[in-house]
Each structure stands twice: as structure tokens, then as C-alpha cells.
A and B are shown apart, each in its own frame.
Chain A
């Protein structure tokens, strides 16, 4: 597999070119500044028409709502992704599949939570991300226990391999679902990390930092969210993905953390995380920690485009596009609810 760069273009050159072209169409800061000035959703539609989104809302009848916009944004992303996926060759195909797994996990959890709250499946399905839909998805709500979920439904899906740690749980309640989600994510991230590491070359160089950050972000957020819940420290420690920079020392410290200050102390050891935690808790004017994490993620993803001949651009593009969709939806939501004070809280894509 040495010198993979030399052969990269044979299999994936076209797709890389395509994805770089797509990336050029991502909304810039100037576009967002214009979007923020919109008074109604119709204005938003008009402005988006002059971007790469073109006439993606042109065939909508009736009043525009945020959820229509959201659906259409996702639809467009889905079309692009499916095109990439259909034209890809191994190992890029596996790589692209890995990207969809995270959406699949989210969908499974969403459906289980929904069922737990007695929502009808027809109401839940539209909320699922189209990138993560799979054949057996709609049967998820039948399962009563994780074991059943695994044995009957998910065993045929690619998610099966992530389930190995999770079967022991006996009942699906709110806390257990959260634990299930985090365990799935942990297994997913570690597996994805391993896959990228096996690819070697540029892909490893670009993807590993992104996944490491993702793993560490999860570890931080799990820790912060677990304060004040019945989750024991030992249980918490089992949820941390073990492929980040924090592994192993940072994770040990995190598992002992009792409050925000302790978490911050852990972050102090890592220059990049230290910056994110600075000023995060002082007051609400500052950006929230979550936003800072998003900003850092965008930065990492944009940096992925600085290198050529690697798969990272596909992942980075999907993530950037996802962020862009979140931004547009945020702005649309602010416009629709006439709540303009926080409209500027989107994450600019550099």
C-alpha cells in the first residue's frame, strides 16, 4: 500500500475533484452576513437562489417553513453524497459508509427514544437524518431490550459490530439509551479511527486528528453532562472513546472529575483544548463551549482541504456541509420566530 498518493487519482481523482468543487459552493461569511439581514423566509429563499443552492426551493408551494428548508437542505446533501458513494471504489466506499454510520446511530437512538415516549413511528421517521436510513430502521421500535435490538434487528446492519459492548444492558430507559448511544459512538469512533490508521499516508495524517478531536470532545461532553446524574464514575469511564489525545492519562483524570474546574484542569494539559475552555464559563455573552468545539471542528475540517490525495476531504466536506445546514436552519429559525438577538450565533465557515 506504499506510495498510495501515486495511484490515488486512478480510483478517486474524479471524486476528489468533485468534492473540492462542491466545497467551493459552501456559503462564505459574506453570504451569511447577507442571510442574517433577511426579514422573512422568502427573503432567505431569494438569497439562497444566488448561491450554489440555486433553485432548490423553487418548486415549493405554500408558505415556507423552517422544516421544509431543513428537509431540502438535507435532501441536496443526500443527493451529492449518494452520487459520491455510487461512484466510489474500495476502500473509499468503506470510508464513505463509515460517515453514514454516525447518522445511523443517531437515527436508531432517536427511534428508540421516540418509542419510549409513546410517539407513533410515522411521526418519528421524518425526523431521521436521510443519510442514516437503512432497511431495518423502521423496525427498531419493536425492540424492547438492547439484546433484542441487537439480535433481531441490527445484526444485519453494519452497526452490529459496534454493539458488542452494549448487549448486557437489560432495560431501555432514558439513561440506558444515553449510555447505549455513547457506547455505540465509542465503538464507532474507535473502529473508524482504526480504519483510517490502516489506510496510512495522507488519509491517516488528516483523518486521525479530526477523529481524535471528535473522541475527546465526546469525552469532555459526557463528563460535563454526567454531573448531577446517577451515572457512576466507573460507568462513565467506560463511555470514553479511547482514540483521542486524552487517552490514556487524560481519560483517567476525566473519570475522576467532580466539577467543571476539574475538567478544565484536564484540558489545561493540551494546548488546543486549553484555548477552547478559556472564558467558556464566565458569562453568557461569550460563546458556549459547544460552539467553540464546533468552531474548532470547522477549522480542522477546512484544514483537511490543504492536502491532496486523501479521503479526509470527503469527511470534511460532509461535516462542513452539515455545519452549513445547521447555520442556515439556525438563521431561518431566528427569522421565523422573530428572535433576532441571537441570530449571529452561527458558526462561520472559513
Chain B
């Protein structure tokens, strides 16, 4: 269990599984979620891998599922979430699944194409209906102007003066006019009109009317507004031109009979056809809906299954198959403590599959750095995620997450600091925890809610700590409790002990209690938290500011010191003595000599200066600034204690000394180390070759793995130095800026308290 504080100890394990059982074994390992597979064939391109065809099949199934899902959502059918853990299908069942999918897809596609054709048909007929209605108006208008109309023959009407403009150009003579009627998308109409005019040199008459009836009749997915137009022209040449233009603009041209009688007949026929079509369409729609409803029940389940299958094949692609094709070789990283669990799972699985060979786990030594793995549970996972967001530590490094379980909510609580609000928060978190217990597997659809739910334990702790800090601040919904009785006594300020009389009370609007007067402060401070009397004091803010600011600095410096100490644990664990002496010690010196001393001053001032001396107490801020500037003259420089000057000078000097200590020595040591080993290696090489050739080759075989390693670790003094410089600068600046940042605790706490007063 020591592994809470460090990342898990890992080992590289070679796994031999019978090829037939490989699928199931990988599946079980996947459900277990304790191992990481290594890619054993990094040089092989994706499509040359062994199981690429299976991956492709899965992708095909995924495509069908995507298609189904799209259709289902389009039909506004709710998709049923699957709650239980869906088992991965065995390879045998996959074919069944595949067939089922394909059948479903084919059926759906067929319905879709049918429906589309019907819809198109319906749309066209509806358009024709409108066309007939509207052209009727054109013709009526024309006929009203034209008393002696002649019956038109074929597709052309003999119209004289069908519009005023036309009559003026035609001079009232008898003309054979052809016409074309159709429907065009509204946004294309203006371009269409212009082009028609230009190409026919103005020898046409174009009328158009907008179809204003929305999509109720045309059952297209979205309603496209369209216009009905009718073009009158003269001669065959123009006709072909007009039809070509209509083609170019995707305008549908409908045959429109010339005579009124025929048009009426056609209109009746069209209406009948539309009615029939609607009936068929309703039937298809019903059929389709049934199909989709049944699919909607399973689509999520299928999705999980296919995803799992794809993952398994993807993992299998990382493994090797031995020459005899009987056995699958995988290399996995696995926590040492869980090795037994992995093994038993695999054995169980292979027994269940009736395979003749039990899976073999073979631990192999390696000099590769294993992956970092931090075990988590529902409680710690939230904290681990926060820590991981800042960066994942190296293998076996100290894991800061367990400490952050306390520090993170506590630092929050310092800022929040209200026990009433804290209580509300804690209750909310408890509610979420209970809710989560009941609905473990229900996915959160609301993203924000999901985030809150994932951090429910963090919120709980934040709430609890807020209750605590709220009590310390004596702040509950910005009201105070007076549980133990205030330690201050106003009466004592009056005569005979104090200076106040009834007149002072009447004459002054604000009065200040003076703790120096006997009896005003009882000498026994309020037992827990801030004295409630401060809540009615005018200078509450001044007092709280000073208190919270100093508290923030103290907590901040200790927090930082704690962080640096964790690095000491790492150095000890990895036995890096140089790092202790060249990094940890100067770091601690730098931090304590400057900011640790600041903390000391704060506490010293609290302890030493009494009420009577408070008027002459020196300012910590001024002292601290002057300490860094070696400035000890000036009016405000009453010392805290004797020998202050020499002690402070010493502290600043060693803090400054720590900087080059951190910066220079380590790179130099590494450099000289490297030079020495290079020298030695060269010497060894020379002697070896001359003495024993066989030994040399043996060493080469042994060191085969190491050689690559060796080459990777090429030493560059520049890089090391730059790295160390960055580390040093980061640390020193970090100390300063973090201390300043911890003041934010004070600022935010102030802001929160201020919001509610």
C-alpha cells in the first residue's frame, strides 16, 4: 500500500497466448484495464499489419452504425442508452452482427431511395399543381384583354396583346407565340431573368409568381422557396434557347397544355395523383419509423460492442505472431502488484476457451523507463486528474495527488471562508455522491453537470474545509456567532478605569476600544476563531486585512517548503546525492533565508510587541524591502531585535550564494563525469579488442540493447547548462511570484466576505 504516495512499480512482461485465445484474452485484459501494450512492430505501416482487415470490418460496421444513428436522430426518435456493461462479441458472433447490420442498412437504404423517389415525384406534382393554378391566372388575364381569341394548337397559344408591352411591339397583329412554363428556385430567379433577357435580346415576356405555400405539401426535408415562371416567345429557335437556359439554372420545365379544358383536366389528374402518392408515402414512412424504432433500441449497445472489438483488433495489431502461427506474443507494462491478478484472469479465460496451452507471463528485464501509473479510486481520481493536468511525474516519483487531497480544498476554503456557504456546498456534494451511487452508469448528457459530478468529492472536501475556515473567520452568511462571549468589554472604557464619559459618547460618532486600558481586553482571547465583536467594529477590515495577509504568506511559504521537501523524497528514493546537495539544499536555503525569514518576522512581531508598544512597532514590509537593499538608515528603521543588521545581511548573502550554487556546480560535475567515462570507455575498448575477441563479441551481444541507449544519451554541455539555468531561474522567480500569488488567498477571501456584507 506504500504505492499511494508513489506511482506504481511496473514491470515489462512478455505474454504468450495461444493464437485462438488471443482475442478473448485481450478482451479480458481490456476489461481489467491494468496493462499497457507496447508496440512490437513500430516499423510496419498501418495497412501491413496482421489484423488490419478486421479493423476495417469494424470500421465498416461503425459506418453503418453512424448512418443508422443519423437516420434515427433525423426521424426524431430517442436513442435508448444502454446501462449495463455490454459484452464484447466473440469473433463468431461478429459475422452475425455484420450480417444483421448489412441487412438493416440495405433495407433502410431501399426505403430511403423509394421514399426519396416518391417525395420527388410528389414534389414535382405539387409544383405542377401550383404551376397550373398560377398559369391559369396568366391566361385569364390575357383572355380578358383579348376578346376574339383563337384556340391554340399544340403547345403554342395564339395570343395577341397578352400583355401591354407585347401588344405594342407586335403591333396588334396575329402572332404564333410559344411558351414554356416551369418552376425555379427563388434565389436563382433574378439571374435567370437577366440571362433570359440578354440571350433573347428582349424578345420574350416573362411572368413569375412566388409560391407562398410552405412545405406542407411538398414533403422535402427543408422547404426551398420557389417561383413559378412562364416565358412567352416567338419561334423555335428561341424555344430551344429558353429550354437550354432553364436547364442551366436547374429550373424544372413542366408540360403545360395550351387550352383551358386540357389544363383543367390535367389539374384534376394531378390532384388525384398527389392524393395517391400521399397515401403511399404515409405507408413508407410508417414502415421506416418501425424499422428505426427497433434499431434505436440497440444502436448504442452495438456501438459499444463494435468500439470494443475495434480496440481489441487495434491492440492485437501491436503484438507479434510467432513463426508457427500458434502463439501470440505481446509485451505489456503491468503493475508488479497486479501481476497475479492479470495472470489469474488470463488463465481463467484460456481455460474457459478450452485452449491447450495456458498463457505464459514472462517478466523481462529492461532498461526502458516504465510508464507512470497512479492507482486511483473514485475518491482520489478527481485530485489525480487535477494534478495530472499540470504534468505527470516520472516513473516512481512522488505522487503529489494524495497531499493535494488536503491542500487543494483547504487553500480553496481559505479563500471561500464562510461556514454557511460551505455547508450549502457540502450538502450539494453529498447529494451528488448519493445520486451517483444510484445512477452509476448513466452518462451525463449535460457537460457542465458532468464536470461537477466528476469533482463531487473535491467539492465535498471544499465544503467541509470551508465550514472550518468559516468558523475560524467567525463568518456564517456574513453573520457572526457569539458562542463563548466576547473577550472585549466596552464598559471598562468608561470612567473610572478608562477615559470615556457620557459626553464623549455623545460628542463622537466613532469610538475606539483601547486594549491598553485595564479590563477592556479580558486577557483570555476568544477560544475559537475571531472575536465576534470585530463584526461591529468599523476597523474590522483593517484588522482582517492584516490578519489574512499575514496568514496567507505564512501558509504559502510552508506550502512551498512542503513542495520542496517532496523533491527531497524523490532524491532520496533515486539515491541522487548530488541532487540533494546541489539542488535541494540551496533551494531550501534560498526559500527560508528570504521568505522563511519573512514568516519569522511576522510571528516575532505578533509575539513580542505588546499593546503598549504597538505604536512604535516597526513595519515588516519596510524592513523586508530594506533588508534586500542593504539599507539600514532612515527614520522608520527601529530594529526588531539587536544584531538584526548582521543577521539580515548574512541571510541575504547566503540566499544570493544559493543561486550560483544551484546554477553552476551541477552542469560542471556532469560534464567532468562525462569526460571521465568517455576516457575510460575508450581505454577499455582498446584493451578488449587486443586481448579477447570472443569476449568482446559477447559483450556486444549483451550490450546490444544498451547500445542504442548509450547513443541516445549523447551529452551536450550546452543543453545541460541551459536546462539547469532554466530550472534555477524558474525556482527563484517562482519563489517570489508564488509568495505574491499566495496573497491572492487574502484578496479572494476578502472579496468573498465583502460580497455579502
Q: Does B682 contact A (CB under 8 A)?
A: no
Q: Does A42 contact B (CB under 8 A)?
A: yes
Q: How far is the CB of A289 from chain B (nearest CB, A)?
A: 33
| Contact B45–A136 (Cβ < 8 Å) | no
Interface size class of A (residues with CB under 8 A): 20 to 34
Residues of B near A61 (CB, < 8 A) are 63
Residues of B near A168 (CB, < 8 A) are none
Q: Does B199 contact A (CB under 8 A)?
A: yes
Residues of B near A136 (CB, < 8 A) are 191, 195, 248
| Contact A47–B46 (Cβ < 8 Å) | yes
Question: How far is B188's CA from A136's CA once the two chains are assembled, in angstroms?
Answer: 9
Query: Nearest chain-B residue to A122 (Cβ)?
Result: B247
| Contact A152–B249 (Cβ < 8 Å) | no
B-contacting 9-mer, from A19-27, A138-146, A243-251, A325-333: A138-146
User: Residue A152 contacts which of B59, B195, B247 (CB distance < 8 angstroms)?
Assistant: B195
Using known A-B contacts A38-B47, A46-B47, determine if residue A139 contacts B245 with beta carbons closer than 8 Å. Answer: yes
Residues of B near A121 (CB, < 8 A) are 247-248
Q: How far is the CB of A290 from chain B (nearest CB, A)?
A: 30
Task: List which A20-60 residues lie within 8 A (CB) of chain B.
Answer: 34, 37-39, 42-43, 46-47, 49-50, 58-59
Residues of B near A58 (CB, < 8 A) are 59, 62-63, 66
Q: Does A153 contact B (CB under 8 A)?
A: yes
Q: How far is the CB of B242 from chain A (nearest CB, A)?
A: 10
| Contact A43–B47 (Cβ < 8 Å) | yes
Query: Nearest chain-A residue to B197 (Cβ)?
Result: A152
Residues of B near A50 (CB, < 8 A) are 46
Question: How far is B59's CA from A50's CA once the two chains are assembled, in angstroms?
Answer: 14
Q: Does B56 contact A (CB under 8 A)?
A: yes
Q: Does B194 contact A (CB under 8 A)?
A: yes
Question: How far is B194's CA from A156's CA once the two chains are assembled, in angstroms?
Answer: 9
Question: How far is B47's CA from A49's CA once the two chains are assembled, in angstroms?
Answer: 11
Q: Does B67 contact A (CB under 8 A)?
A: yes
Q: How does the 8 Å CB contact mask read for B315-345 relative to A, with 1 for contact and 0 for none?
A: 0000000000000000000000000000000
Residues of A near B479 (CB, < 8 A) are none
Q: Does A93 contact B (CB under 8 A)?
A: no
Task: List which B45-88 residues lie within 8 A (CB) of chain A.
Answer: 45-47, 52, 56, 59, 62-63, 66-67
Residues of B near A141 (CB, < 8 A) are 244, 248
Residues of A near B46 (CB, < 8 A) are 46-47, 49-50
Q: How does the 8 Å CB contact mask read for A154-185 relative to B, with 1 for contact and 0 for none?
A: 01100000000000000000000000000000
User: Residue B198 contacts which of A38, A135, A152 (CB distance < 8 angstroms)?
Assistant: A152
User: Residue A139 contacts which of B47, B52, B248 (CB distance < 8 angstroms)?
Assistant: B248
Task: List which B176-218 residues lie within 8 A (CB) of chain A.
Answer: 188, 191, 194-195, 198-199
User: Residue B195 contacts which of A34, A37, A153 (CB distance < 8 angstroms)?
Assistant: A153
| Contact A135–B247 (Cβ < 8 Å) | no
Q: How far is the CB of A332 from chain B (nearest CB, A)?
A: 14
Q: How far is the CB of B189 from chain A (nearest CB, A)?
A: 11
Q: How does the 8 Å CB contact mask read for B610-633 relative to A, with 1 for contact and 0 for none?
A: 000000000000000000000000
Q: Does B275 contact A (CB under 8 A)?
A: no
| Contact A138–B63 (Cβ < 8 Å) | no
Residues of B near A153 (CB, < 8 A) are 195, 198-199
| Contact A59–B63 (Cβ < 8 Å) | yes
User: Residue B244 contacts which of A34, A49, A142 (CB distance < 8 angstroms)?
Assistant: A142
Q: How far is the CB of A90 from chain B (nearest CB, A)?
A: 24
Q: How far is the CB of A184 from chain B (nearest CB, A)?
A: 20
| Contact B59–A138 (Cβ < 8 Å) | no
Q: Does A94 contact B (CB under 8 A)?
A: no
Question: How far is B249's CA from A167's CA once the two chains are assembled, in angstroms?
Answer: 24
Query: Nearest chain-A residue to B67 (Cβ)?
Result: A59
Residues of B near A142 (CB, < 8 A) are 199, 241, 244-245, 248
| Contact B198–A138 (Cβ < 8 Å) | no
Residues of A near B63 (CB, < 8 A) are 58-59, 61
User: Residue A42 contacts which of B56, B241, B247 (CB distance < 8 angstroms)?
Assistant: B56
Q: Does B250 contact A (CB under 8 A)?
A: yes
Query: Nearest chain-B residue to A125 (Cβ)?
Result: B248
Q: How far is the CB of B26 from chain A (nearest CB, A)?
A: 21
Query: Nearest chain-A residue to B45 (Cβ)?
Result: A34
Using known A-B contacts A58-B63, A142-B199, A153-B195, determine if residue A46 contacts B52 with beta carbons closer than 8 Å. Answer: yes
Question: How far is B231's CA from A159's CA once the two chains are assembled, in angstroms?
Answer: 28
Query: Nearest chain-B residue to A42 (Cβ)?
Result: B56
Query: Nearest chain-A residue to B187 (Cβ)?
Result: A135
Quick one: which of B47, B56, B188, B247 has the most chain A CB within 10 A?
B47
Quick one: which of B66, B241, B245 has the most chain A CB within 10 A?
B245
Q: How does the 8 Å CB contact mask read for B412-455 relative to A, with 1 for contact and 0 for none?
A: 00000000000000000000000000000000000000000000
| Contact B194–A46 (Cβ < 8 Å) | no
Residues of A near B62 (CB, < 8 A) are 58
Residues of A near B45 (CB, < 8 A) are 34, 37, 47
Interface size class of B (residues with CB under 8 A): 20 to 34
Question: How far is B185's CA from A135's CA once the two chains are assembled, in angstroms?
Answer: 12
What is the total of A-B residue contacts with beta carbons within 8 Å? Answer: 59
| Contact A138–B247 (Cβ < 8 Å) | yes
Q: How does the 8 Å CB contact mask read for B250-268 relative to A, with 1 for contact and 0 for none?
A: 1000000000000000000
Residues of A near B52 (CB, < 8 A) are 46
Q: How far is the CB of B567 from chain A (nearest CB, A)?
A: 37
Q: How far is the CB of B313 from chain A (nearest CB, A)?
A: 13
Query: Nearest chain-A residue to B244 (Cβ)?
Result: A142
Question: How far is B63's CA from A49's CA once the two chains are assembled, in angstroms?
Answer: 14
Q: Does A214 contact B (CB under 8 A)?
A: no
Residues of B near A152 (CB, < 8 A) are 195, 198-199
Q: Does A268 contact B (CB under 8 A)?
A: no
Quick one: which of A42, A50, A153 has the most chain B CB within 10 A?
A153
Residues of A near B241 (CB, < 8 A) are 142
Query: Nearest chain-A residue to B59 (Cβ)?
Result: A58
Query: Nearest chain-A residue to B53 (Cβ)?
Result: A42
Q: How does the 8 Å CB contact mask read for A97-141 relative to B, with 1 for contact and 0 for none?
A: 000000000000000000000000100000000000001101111
Q: Does A345 contact B (CB under 8 A)?
A: no
Residues of B near A139 (CB, < 8 A) are 195, 244-245, 248-249
Q: How far is the CB of B294 from chain A (nearest CB, A)?
A: 22
User: Residue A59 contacts which of B66, B191, B248 (CB distance < 8 angstroms)?
Assistant: B66
Q: Does A70 contact B (CB under 8 A)?
A: no
Q: Does A205 contact B (CB under 8 A)?
A: no
| Contact B47–A156 (Cβ < 8 Å) | no
| Contact A156–B191 (Cβ < 8 Å) | yes
Query: Nearest chain-B residue to A50 (Cβ)?
Result: B46
Q: Does A295 contact B (CB under 8 A)?
A: no
Query: Nearest chain-B residue to A153 (Cβ)?
Result: B195
Question: How far is B247's CA from A39's CA once the two chains are assembled, in angstroms?
Answer: 42
Q: Does A151 contact B (CB under 8 A)?
A: yes
Question: How far is B246's CA from A141's CA once the two chains are assembled, in angstroms?
Answer: 12
Q: Does A148 contact B (CB under 8 A)?
A: yes
Residues of B near A43 (CB, < 8 A) are 47
Residues of A near B59 (CB, < 8 A) are 58
Q: How far is the CB of B303 from chain A (nearest CB, A)?
A: 15
Q: How far is the CB of A127 from chain B (nearest CB, A)?
A: 16
Residues of B near A151 (CB, < 8 A) are 198
Q: How far is the CB of A114 from chain B (nearest CB, A)?
A: 13
| Contact A47–B47 (Cβ < 8 Å) | yes
Question: How far is B199's CA from A148's CA once the two chains are assembled, in angstroms?
Answer: 8
Q: How far is the CB of A29 from chain B (nearest CB, A)?
A: 15
User: Residue B56 contacts which of A39, A46, A135 (CB distance < 8 angstroms)?
Assistant: A46
Q: List 8 A-B contacts (CB under 8 A).
A: A46-B47, A46-B52, A136-B248, A138-B248, A141-B244, A142-B244, A142-B248, A152-B195
Known: A39-B47, A46-B46. 18 other contacts (CB 8 A): A34-B45, A38-B47, A43-B47, A47-B46, A49-B46, A58-B59, A58-B66, A59-B67, A61-B63, A121-B248, A135-B188, A136-B248, A138-B247, A140-B248, A141-B248, A142-B248, A152-B195, A156-B191
Task: Name the 9 nearest CB pairs between A and B, nearest first.
Answer: A139-B248, A138-B248, A43-B47, A152-B198, A152-B199, A46-B47, A142-B244, A135-B191, A34-B45
- The interface of chain B, by Cβ under 8 A from chain A, is 45-47, 52, 56, 59, 62-63, 66-67, 188, 191, 194-195, 198-199, 241, 244-245, 247-250
